[in-house]
A and B are shown apart, each in its own frame.
Chain A
Amino acid sequence: MLDALDILLQANFWAATIRIATPLIFGVLGALLCERAGVLNLGIEGIFVAGAMSGWLAVYLGLPLWGGVLVAALVGAGFGLVHGVLTVPLGLSQHVTGIGVTLLATSAAYFGYRVAFPNVGTPPRIEPFPPLDVPVIGNLPFIGPIVGQQTAFTVLAFACVILVAFVLARTPLGLALRAVGDNPEAVEAQGLSVVGLRMGAVMAGSALMALGGAFLTLSAFNAFYFGMINGRGWVCIALTVFASWRPGKALVGALLFGALDAYQLRLQTITGGAVPSQIFLMLPYIFSIAALVLVARRADYPRALMKPYFKGQR
């Protein structure tokens, strides 16, 4: 029992928590941005894959690491454009389109990979982001080792949380974005473009999602594998509801999920096999479902979520 609590006092546990949470932070932020503008983006899982593949490939082909990050974001925005065009001006079902985008983006990434590498044994590797070397904080006890194991990519994730929170809450653009997800008619009456705002939000959100994927191949690991996204995108969709569409809570949700995953990996090794490993593997997902049940009752959905807007239609 003490062993189980002792885990929480290890700096390495918290370092792992942040590492596991980072791709989710990007993903939840992206999903949240889309949904705040009224568009559910189930293309997230595929966009993760496309981001992971394209960012990694760009670096493999010789771009610097940040160049890879940019490429991933652009590819994500591209798939966001596809999803946006189909769901915003054309008003197609957001569920069906999103699943379609996931299938398309996943297959396109695999196809691109196979065309680029028809004949390899083990997937080629790149030199990923190095761990941070922070002058003062790096020497602090406990905090130092936690920060020292992260990379600049994780810093970008935290910066994005602040940026998205600031834009949504404190800028006219953020106000318009929130309004377009709650009451598009009012936005139209203001003389703003509902289509333009929603398209922009979906593309920016999709770019963030792609960064989540790119983190896995550029920082957490150094190669692209088929299937390595492994449902992380879907977790983000659930975490968005948990976060009540707020960036701050999104960060908390992602960190909680990361902590539970890091915790179960450590718990598996201390129970001496008394508990089946599958129970531990379930933990983070049980948490997601339980949290949804608790939070979703009070969830304040964007009023116009999943409702296409057609100008002049009542």
Chain B
Amino acid sequence: MVDTSESLPLFSSGQIDRRRLLALGAGALAFSTFSGAALAAKEKPIKVAAIFTVPVEQQWVSRIHKALKAAEARGDITYKFSENVANTDYERVMRQYSQEGADLVVGEVFAVERPARKVAADYPDTAYLMGSSFGPTKPNFSVFDNFIHEPSFLTGMVAGKLTKSNIIGLVGGYAIPEVNRLMQAFMEGAVSVNPDVKFLVTFINSWYDPPKAKEAAFAQIDKGADILYAERFGVSDAAKERGIKAIGNVIDTAGDYPGTVVASALWHMEPTVDRAIKAVMDGTFTAEDYGPFSYMAQGGASLATLDPKLVPPEVIDLVLLKEKEIKDGLFRVNVNDAEPKSTM
């Protein structure tokens, strides 16, 4: 069993304002002081090790890698990483880095939730910051996730306004919460500006099969889709070949597909990573949910700059207005982890 009983509330839904965050942070601090769980302060640069189950080119992981590289360039950390680690091997690699004296271990434990928490319990002096679908585990296991549903909603608005056939295609990897959440927000955004819009949803059951993603995208274009939500590599290529538009996800691919990718929801891991590094240095690292640091208000997510040549100015104005509302806490994008379905 993953022990989440002592964890802080996983505020994956609900509006996050600064005050509530502070209160939670303070609560966590008080709690950890009470139980004496905070780790000892560390000298800069701290030793950071990252363990990824996919190559660092993979969109999702590339964002974590980038933030850690930036911290390394600043001289805050020394950085080592292992990529393409099989899930069956994950625990061993975690132990190895922990044994070698890493101060902070970063990674993704979606397939090894329980073993990863066991390792963390064995190394109480090491801080862990892991991508996870569950909550944090005391005393030293913090979690994060890609909560970029807010900009996804905004890109959905762009798609809803730009579609002429009123059919939008979405190609996803696996129907897991991390994917569903963003697709659902995207669809909600599109419907909010265009109630007539219909969706085609296809999953390819692979993270990394661009030829297959491309075929899935072709099938949707054949069915009338004129804007594609590119959750996977390969979708934008199909859009480009057939001369339709695509919406980017997690990374900004507008440069690779000029004129094809019209909007992108970006994920920034810097707020999460920098906060964890600082906490380790200060000796205040505790088991926390870093999810909120991927929200727009915290700078953990953003909408890539919209190009007025591709998106009409009135649409840009509409979207930017909504963006401001989200940042100010006036509009809340729902977190819906249910598998999205075709609506045709």
Contact = CB atoms under 8 A, between A and B. Distances in A.
B212 interface: yes
Given A110-B84, A123-B57, A230-B212, A271 B342 contact: yes
Given A10-B222, A20-B215, A122 B253 contact: yes
Contacts of B175: 277-278
B42 to A, nearest CB: 27
A96 B49 CA distance: 35
A266 B212 CA distance: 12
Interface in A210-257: 216, 220-223, 225-228, 230
B202 A269 contact: yes
B222 A266 contact: yes
A83 B284 CA distance: 55
Interface in A1-41: 10, 12-13, 16, 19-20
B44 to A, nearest CB: 24
B140 interface: no
B211 A269 contact: no
Given A16-B218, A266-B223, A269-B201, A221 B84 contact: no
B211 A121 contact: no
B341 to A, nearest CB: 2
A260 to B, nearest CB: 12
Given A123-B57, A277-B202, A266 B208 contact: no
Nearest to B213: A221
Contacts of A227: 54, 206-209
Interface string A278-296: 1001000000000000000
Contacts of A10: 222
A16 B215 CA distance: 7
Contacts of A20: 215
Given A121-B62, A278-B205, A281-B205, A270 B223 contact: yes
B219 A228 contact: no
A100 B344 CA distance: 47
A193 interface: no
A134 interface: no
A273 B202 CA distance: 10
Contact of B342 (A12, A220, A225, A270): A270
Contacts of A230: 206, 208-209, 212
Please indicate which of the listed interface residues B200, B204, B207, B216 has the most CB atoms of chain A within 10 Å of its own CB: B216
B170 to A, nearest CB: 10
Contacts of A223: 210, 233
A220 B211 contact: yes
A120 interface: yes
A161 interface: no
Contacts of A225: 55, 57, 208-210, 233
Contacts of B253: 122
Contacts of B210: 221, 223, 225, 228
B57 A228 contact: no
Given A19-B215, A269-B202, A277-B202, A221 B237 contact: yes
Contacts of B204: 265, 281
A183 interface: no
Interface string B229-263: 00001100100000000000001010010000000
Contacts of B203: 268, 277-278, 281
Contacts of B206: 227, 230
Q: How large is the interface on B (under 10, 10 to 19, 20 to 34, 35 or more residues)?
A: 35 or more
B256 to A, nearest CB: 6
A262 interface: yes
Nearest to A271: B342
Interface string B107-149: 0000000000000000000000000000000000000000000
B245 to A, nearest CB: 18
Given A223-B210, A227-B208, A268-B203, A121 B57 contact: yes
Contacts of B208: 225-228, 230
B214 interface: yes
Contacts of B222: 10, 12-13, 266
A62 interface: no
B219 A262 contact: yes
A268 B205 contact: no
A217 to B, nearest CB: 9
A172 interface: no
Nearest to A52: B211
A272 interface: yes
Contact of A122 (B214, B251, B343): B251
B272 interface: no
Interface in B23-71: 54-55, 57, 62
B166 interface: no
B266 to A, nearest CB: 13
B84 to A, nearest CB: 6
Contacts of A122: 57, 233, 251, 253, 256
In the A-B complex, list the 8 residue pairs whose CB atoms are closest, starting with the nearest.
A273-B341, A220-B211, A269-B200, A227-B208, A265-B219, A277-B203, A230-B209, A226-B55
Interface of B: 54-55, 57, 62, 84, 169, 175, 200-212, 214-216, 218-220, 222-223, 233-234, 237, 251, 253, 256, 339-344
8 contacts: A16-B215, A110-B84, A223-B233, A261-B212, A265-B215, A265-B216, A265-B219, A277-B203
